[in-house]
Amino acid sequence: MFDSLSSRLEGIVKRLRGKGRLTEDDVDEMLKEIRTALLEADVNVGVVRNVVGRIREQAIGARLSEVLDPGQQVIKIVNAELTAMLGGETLKIHYASRPPTVILMAGLQGSGKTTSSAKLARWFKGQGRQPLLVGADLQRPAAVEQLRTLGRQIDVPVFSQPGDPVETAKRGLEEARRLGRDVLIVDTAGRLAIDAELMEQVRQISSVIQPNYTFLVIDAMTGQDAVGVAEAFHNTLAIDGVILSKLDGDARGGAALSVKEVIGRPIAFASTGEKLTEFDQFHPDRMAGRILGMGDVLTLIEQAEQHFEKDQAEKAAERLMEGEFTLEDFLEQMQSLKKMGPLGNLMGMMPGMPKEMKDAQIGDDQLKPIEAIINSMTPLERRKPELINGSRRNRIATGSGTTVGDVNRLVKQFAEMQKMMKRFGGMAKQQRGKGKKGKGGGRAMPGLPGGFPGMPGGFPGMPGGPTQLGQGLPGAPGGFGPFN
């Protein structure tokens, strides 16, 4: 799809090499790339103008010509600016002293209000609260039924009654008091933001239930219109926070930045998957890299943490660097990896993966032959593939339903890879020895977005060119040249 901003800036910097110093024109050329990247991420035109202006001031002030790597320097400035704009603080929910804490959900048609309502209810439940959902969307056919079904799935009661939505919301509030539920979430009808009648309806609901929090649900795929929508709702309802839905798509989500900037309210929650559990408080620090098209490494690593056996992974990595990584290790790791979701998704989240790989339609089924081959080996063969002779090869091929050629290829490639790993493993160790590690330890990982400069050949994005080891994910192999 889009080249990442990082690789574009690298392109400019490459052309500038040898010039010795950066002129203001050079900076402007970089700013133009930044502007394009932001616009392609759907950041609002007006917001882009302001951001680029601020970045320009800083970039010029930073005396880029004197630093070793001006491209990286610019990216750092951009990243810091975007992170600051998105807001460092996560919204802290203050519960009403006299329960229930009332929450009103508003948003456009199809933005994901009903699903977000249920996910939010589940989140509150996880916080030890007892929510009640109210279905006041009496307009869309079956909206209430959808909410009821979701309510059953998360075991949260749902109140609704036909007729007038305002009356329904009011009764819902009474119901919450009667049942002693301490959080009330009111789902309202979707609207086009400009429909005066429906806007009036949601305003009336708001004045009747007096919400403690009013959340605006915004689709992460929204384009330039996000700002207008947010302003319209904010003027009518006084929005307290935004819930960003469908963030598990591949949209860059520039809308989040725009809305935050224009109404000055934080992104409170983000929905990261179809499952009702895939919903959490928003992490602004990760969004900057995503808007710039630089992958979402932190989310990836967090997922990996959940699904990989820590000890196993650690041992495997250790063996890897020694060049003793076995097919058994590989199988174990691959099985963990598969738990993290479809391979295609993971590829999408990897920063700097080359286009050919991202575009390759790899279904998890396609990995099955590999698994089958390894599964048909004896444990000893997995540890020492060099033992595999003609008759063993035949047995493995028959057992896995593949051909002898397939088995051969796997074993050969694995051996090549092992060699390479050893080489890079050694390099990584050297680097680690130099003690460059302090920097990337924090949650924000300041060096990260800049850590994947366009590495020529092989896997351009794989972190770990010797000069960058202190920033990205040190120790990772630097390239797989011979395989390409």
Partner 1 sequence: MELIYLIAIAAVLVFGIGVVVLNRRRSAAAPAPAPKAAAPRPVKPPPPAKDGTAAAAVRAEPEHVPEPLDLGGERPTFRSRMSKARSALTGTLLGIRSRTGITTETWDDLEEALLRADVGVRVTDELLDGLRTRVKAKEIIEPGALLDALQAEMVSRLDGADRELHLEPGPADEPNVWLFVGVNGVGKTTTIGKVSALQAQAGVSVLMAAGDTFRAAAAEQLTTWAERSGAEIVRGKEGGDPSSVIFDGIERAAAKGIQLVLADTAGRLHNKTNLMDELRKVRRVAEKGRGRVTEVLLVIDATTGQNGLTQAREFGAATNVGTEGSGVTGVVLTKLDGSAKGGIVFAIETELGLPVKLVGLGETINDLVPFDPTEFVDALVTLD
Residue 437 within binding range of partner 1, rule CB under 8 A: yes
Q: How far is the CB of 165 from partner 1 (least distance, A)?
A: 9
* Residue nearer to partner 1 on the CB measure, 24 or 364: 364
**Residue ranges in 60-99 that form contacts with partner 1 under rule CB under 8 A:** none
Instruction: Select the span of 207-215, 226-234, 262-270, 379-387 touching partner 1 (CB under 8 A).
Output: 226-234
Task: Supply the DSSP string of 127-169, one letter for each residue.
Answer: TT--EEEEEE--SSTTHHHHHHHHHHHHT--EE--SS-HHHHH
Q: In the structure encoding, which two tokens stand for residue 268, read together?
A: 């409170």
Q: How far is the CB of 183 from partner 1 (least distance, A)?
A: 21
Which residues 6+ apart lie within 8 Å of 187 measured at CB?
Answer: 105, 113, 114, 117, 133, 134, 135, 136, 137, 143, 147
Residue 125 within binding range of partner 1, rule CB under 8 A: no
* Residue nearer to partner 1 on the CB measure, 179 or 194: 194
Residue 476 within binding range of partner 1, rule CB under 8 A: yes
* Residue nearer to partner 1 on the CB measure, 99 or 228: 228
Residue 299 within binding range of partner 1, rule CB under 8 A: no
Nearest to 117 by CA among 167, 156, 175, 164: 156
**Residue ranges in 338-357 that form contacts with partner 1 under rule CB under 8 A:** 339-348, 350, 357
User: Is the bond preceding 446 in cis, omega lying within 30 degrees of 0?
Assistant: no
Expressed in angstroms, the distance from the first to the final Cα of the chain is 21
Residue 444 within binding range of partner 1, rule CB under 8 A: no
Instruction: Select the span of 11-19, 52-60, 236-244, 269-277 touching partner 1 (CB under 8 A).
Output: 269-277
* Residue nearer to partner 1 on the CB measure, 96 or 313: 313
Number of residues that bind partner 1 (CB under 8 A): 116
Q: Which of 179, 192, 387, 404 binds partner 1 (CB under 8 A)?
A: 192
Per-residue b/e over 237-267, b at no fewer than 16 CB within 10 Å? bebbbbbbbbbbeebbbbbbbbbbbbbebbb
Q: Which of 3, 40, 280, 328 binds partner 1 (CB under 8 A)?
A: 40
* Residue nearer to partner 1 on the CB measure, 88 or 481: 481
Ramachandran category for residue 358: left, alpha or beta (phi over 0 → left; psi -120 to 50 → alpha): alpha
Residue 324 within binding range of partner 1, rule CB under 8 A: no
Residue 139 within binding range of partner 1, rule CB under 8 A: yes
SS3 state of residue 217: strand
Side-chain-facing half-sphere of 133: CA atoms under 13 Å: 33
Distance between CA atoms of 155 and 138, rounded to whole angstroms? 22
Q: How far is the CB of 410 from partner 1 (least distance, A)?
A: 7
Per-residue b/e over 159-175, b at no fewer than 16 CB within 10 Å? bbbeeebbebbbbbbeb
* Residue nearer to partner 1 on the CB measure, 111 or 214: 111
Residue 219 within binding range of partner 1, rule CB under 8 A: yes
* Residue nearer to partner 1 on the CB measure, 48 or 103: 48
Positive or negative, the CA dihedral 320, 326, 327, 329 is negative
**Residue ranges in 360-419 that form contacts with partner 1 under rule CB under 8 A:** 360-364, 366-367, 369-370, 406, 409-410, 413-414, 417
Q: Which of 125, 129, 140, 171 binds partner 1 (CB under 8 A)?
A: 140
Nearest to 30 by CA among 91, 72, 2, 87: 72
Q: How far is the CB of 148 from partner 1 (least distance, A)?
A: 6
Q: How far is the CB of 67 from partner 1 (least distance, A)?
A: 25
Residue 320 within binding range of partner 1, rule CB under 8 A: yes
